[in-house]
Amino acid sequence: MSLLTLEGVTASYGASQALFGMDLTLSEGEAVAMMGRNGMGKTTTVRAICRMLPAQGRLVFDGHDLTRLASHRTAQLGIGLVPEGRRCFRDLTVEENLVVAARRGHWDLSRVAGLFPRLAERRGQRASTLSGGEQQMLAIGRALMTNPRLLILDEATEGLAPLIRAEIWEAIARLKTETGLSLLVIDKSLKELKGVADRAVLVARGQVAWAGAMDALDAETSARHVGV
Amino acid sequence: MSREGYVNAALVAALIGVPLWAHLAGEPFTITLATRAVIFALAAVGLNLALGLGGMVSFGHAVFFGLGGYAMGILAHHAQNFLPLYDGLFLIEGTKSMPVIWLVAITVSALAALLIGLLSLRTSGVYFIMITLAFGQMFYYFTISWSAYGGEDGLSIWVRNGFPGLNTLDPIQFYALCFTLLCAALWLTHRIARSPFGLMLNATRQVPHRVETVGLDGQRAKLVVFVISGAITGLAGALFADLNRFVSPTMFSWHMSGEIMIFVILGGVARLFGPVAGAVLFVAMEHVLGDLSDYWHIYLGALLLGIVLFARGGVVGLLAGRAKSHD
């Protein structure tokens, strides 16, 4: 049974329609890569799932109709989001950023510190004083503290130095292999995604242009829809 | 202890020492001035919860100040005239008991804050300011036309209300009562700020919509703190009415809302003792400069301008040195 189902989802920013019947399924423990060029509807899909944007169509998470829920309820149901641009609470310390999101479950401060030791070293530091990579780690840690069943990572490695990117990709891989967390990863790094995702969904003009097993995604298809 | 801790301790010492000295020296007027400062500080501590912790620029906190005042005025008016407040299906009489009056003031102010918050928190920024201001003016004009309770002339209470075991007519005893309530409100603010709820409010203030992605209902948190804020300011209103033994529509006016906001900004937004420092400074300036000139507000304006431009942490921030990120 699928954990997340999107069928014919449409969404608009005012008069400008961004999603034209988006379909997506994601099973428990599965990692799905969502790829596409800029402005094709990847982040809009995430915003629709997390109820940050009104959407029509069928959006179901674990049997719950998402279209009827307030945004904070989606997180309470088990959808964790690492938003594009990190969006840490800048005036809170690292520890406060994590504690404020904490919900009962597997993930706690020590487990997040185990995944990202850098955060443990900077636990008393304000988020605004962290580097971009550390803020990204904090954003992932904060989402994990909500103890999600599905973690959505929206461009989690964008604009980061190669070493930090590698560290974050390694953490994402550990999440998949060690905890069996369901993942929806939005990114353009085909090589890294191949090491994490089971399936790929390529998005173009607000709908699915290609979907299939990650191994079946060839360079030509990727270049056509993603540009890489 | 941090530098801010020393500043706070000095303020507390002054608020204990000066009235005590005035009592021993036979200077009841100084005690009354200190009482006025403490009551204003209490009102501002209430606003600081909404403004400093919740990031809500309420320009209508006079509503709660006025409601607290009128709760006292109406209950005491009925008690002193031996007129029942309501004698329909059951009988409600007035009272001269401070604890009962405080309870009514807190309840009425909290309910009003709940209603105003439910409507105004749908907006933000300048619209929130305007809506809260509009509510203030609605109450102001309503009380002006409320002839049963004095209308524009207000309502006088002959004798200050009573508190079990205390002589509230003795300035130092009434001051002690007000100071104790201020300390309780400061303790409550401190507890809220340090609690997970306070963290949530802090996060909501910084990135209002993103808190929802971690499962927090930021709007509800803001409403809850707005209600607590209104209740504290309402209690201050009841004390202010008891201090003056008089209530009038001016307690609801936008000037009053502005003054409460000035106390907070002058002392330091989101600083625990910021509102206390602001209120003390305001009352001191009002007294000292008011004797020199009727236009003393010019000096207050200049000081406020200086604070906003050069010391965004307010007086407490200036003395404590270390800036809070959201000053």
Give percent of chain B above pLDDT 70. Answer: 98
Q: Answer whether CATH 3.40.50.300 is correct for domain A2-225.
A: yes
Torsion angle of C-alpha atoms B162, B164, B166, B169, degrees rounded to 10: 10
> Distances in Å between the alpha carbon of B23 and those of A130, A194, B19, B36?
54, 80, 6, 16
Q: Has residue B308 got a pLDDT over 50?
A: yes
Task: Note the pLDDT tens digit of each residue in A165-200.
Answer: 999 999 999 999 888 899 999 998 888 888 899 999
Count other C-beta atoms under 10 Å from residue B306's C-beta: 11
Of the partner residues B196, B214, B326, the one whose CB lies closest to the CB of residue A142 = B214
Sequence-distant (6+) residues with CB within 8 A of B147 are none
Task: Count how many pairs of residues, chain A against chain B, have C-beta atoms within 8 Å.
Answer: 70
Name the residue ranges covered by the structural domains of chain B.
3-259
The pLDDT of residue A228? 64
The pLDDT of residue B291? 81
Task: Note the pLDDT tens digit of each residue in B75-100.
Answer: 999 999 888 888 888 888 899 999 99
What is the rounded average pLDDT of the residues A211-215? Answer: 91
Q: Which pTM was predicted?
A: 0.88
Instruction: Report the alpha-carbon distance of residue A223 to residue A150 in Å, rounded.
Output: 28
Note whether B138 contacts A: Cβ–Cβ < 8 A. no
In chain B, whose CA is at the least distance from the CA of A141?
B214
Q: Has residue A72 got a pLDDT over 70?
A: yes
Contact B110, B224 (CB under 8 A): no
Length of chain B counted residue by residue: 327
Give A1 or A40, the one with higher predicted confidence: A40
Give the pLDDT band of residue A202 (cuts 50, 70, 90): very high
Contact A68, A11 (CB under 8 A): no
* Mean confidence (pLDDT) of chain A: 92
Q: Which helix (H) or strand (E) element contains residue B124? A: none
**DSSP letter string over B282-312?**
HHHHHHHHHHH-TTTHHHHHHHHHHHHHH-T
Chain-centre distance for alpha carbon B152: 23
Q: Has residue B323 got a pLDDT over 60?
A: no
Amino acid at A160: L
Q: Which helix (H) or strand (E) element contains residue B5? A: helix B3-25
The pLDDT of residue A44? 95
Q: Which residue has the tokens 């097993």?
A: A213
The pLDDT of residue B325? 45
Is there a contact between A72 and B196 if contact means CB atoms under 8 Å apart? no
Return the minimum-mean-pLDDT range out of B120-134, B188-202, B296-310: B296-310
Note whether B212 contacts A: Cβ–Cβ < 8 A. yes
Q: Has residue B45 got a pLDDT over 60?
A: yes
Beta-ladder partners of A34? A186, A201
Q: Has residue B324 got a pLDDT over 60?
A: no
Contact B282, B266 (CB under 8 A): yes
Note whether B214 contacts A: Cβ–Cβ < 8 A. yes
- Residues of chain A whose beta carbon is less than 8 angstroms from a beta carbon of chain B are 50, 52, 70-73, 75-76, 80-81, 83, 87, 89-92, 96-97, 99-101, 103, 126, 128, 142-143, 145-146
The pLDDT of residue B235? 98
The pLDDT of residue B312? 75
Task: Note the pLDDT tens digit of each residue in A46-61.
Answer: 999 999 999 999 999 9
Is there a contact between B202 and A101 if contact means CB atoms under 8 Å apart? no
Return the minimum-mean-pLDDT range out of A42-46, B11-15, B125-129, B296-300: B296-300
Contacts of B207 in chain A (CB under 8 A): 87, 89
Return the minimum-mean-pLDDT range out of A133-137, B3-7, B305-309: B305-309
Instruction: Report the alpha-carbon distance of residue B103 to residue B92 in Å, rounded.
Output: 15
Question: CA neighbours within 13 Å on the CB side: how many for A134?
Answer: 20
Task: Note the pLDDT tens digit of each residue in B151-184.
Answer: 999 999 988 999 999 999 999 999 999 999 999 9
Query: Considering only CA atoms, which of B112, B38, B59, B57 is closest in space to residue B257?
Result: B59
Is there a contact between A101 and B199 if contact means CB atoms under 8 Å apart? no
Task: Note the pLDDT tens digit of each residue in A107-135.
Answer: 999 999 999 999 999 999 999 999 999 99
Q: Has residue A142 got a pLDDT over 90?
A: yes
